[in-house]
Copies of this chain bind each other. A is one copy, B any other.
Amino acid sequence: MSESDEIDRPVRSGGRKRDTSRDATILSATIDILVEVGFEKMTVDMVAARAKAGKGAMYRRWPSKAEMVLEAVARLKRNMIDLDHLPDTGSLRGDMLALFQAGSAERDERFYRAMAGLAALLAQQPEIADAGHDALIEPWIEANRILIGRAVARHEVTSGADVAVAAQVIPAMGGYRSLIQRRPFDRRFLVDLLDNVLLPALGIAASHLSADPGIGDRQ
């Protein structure tokens, strides 16, 4: 998909211009509702009410609810992790903690709630689910891949572990905690994961524990 999911209409010159600023408002409302109630329970009228838009304006832009959600989720991608400005603290542990800090707990919460909202579609509407995966999870894994790759390059990683698999550990465990257990993905949990699973798996000694902030400091 891309820019021209738009409904075909005869090219004519007259008439009021479509107010493109309504697009973002409607898509933002779409994400809000998706996060709050999930795809199946989300109704077009809810989104219209939230965006203070008429349904006509919505169906003028997207041919169906599914297409609208698809674009809303795809746009989320732009607000996610910025792969061009990843932290570089000198240690993998420091980088991972900085990445979390940069994102903020609030974004992560919205993040997982959006995934939970899309979860219904995993089996049902692979297109939308894939869009959710591409927009939300893949960039995060990619960031992990890059940070771990750097750690390998500077010989911080002593095991021959598979970087691709290692990069999935934190997102996958975070998903389990947030979606299934419904407990917060907070700093404490991240530190647990780093020190008990990821860093040992990569053969990085826990000596960082005393040097860097860990469990027990500001949440």
Q: Which residues of A contact B (CB under 8 A)?
A: 37-41, 113, 116-117, 119-120, 122-124, 126, 129, 133, 137, 159, 161-162, 165-166, 168-169, 171-173, 175-177, 179-182, 192-193, 196-198, 200-203
Interface contact A117-B113, CB-CB below 8 Å:
no
Report A207 CB to chain B, min CB distance, Å: 13
Closest to A197 in B: B201
* Chain B hits for A38, CB < 8 A: 120, 123-124
Of B133, B200, B202, which one neighbours A180 at CB under 8 angstroms?
B133
CA distance A182 to B176 in the complex (A): 15
Q: Which DSSP category, helix, strand, loop or mixed, fits chain A's interface?
A: helix
7 CB < 8 A contacts A-B: A119-B120, A119-B179, A162-B192, A165-B192, A172-B173, A172-B176, A201-B201
CA distance A159 to B197 in the complex (A): 10
* Chain B hits for A177, CB < 8 A: 172
Report A143 CB to chain B, min CB distance, Å: 16
Excluding A38-B123, A119-B119, A169-B169, 15 further A-B contacts by CB distance (< 8 Å) are: A38-B124, A40-B120, A41-B124, A119-B120, A122-B182, A137-B180, A159-B200, A165-B193, A165-B197, A166-B196, A169-B173, A172-B176, A173-B173, A175-B175, A200-B200
CA distance A38 to B125 in the complex (A): 11
Closest to A175 in B: B176
The 6 A-B pairs with the shortest beta carbon distances in the complex, nearest first, are: A120-B120, A119-B119, A172-B176, A40-B40, A201-B201, A162-B196
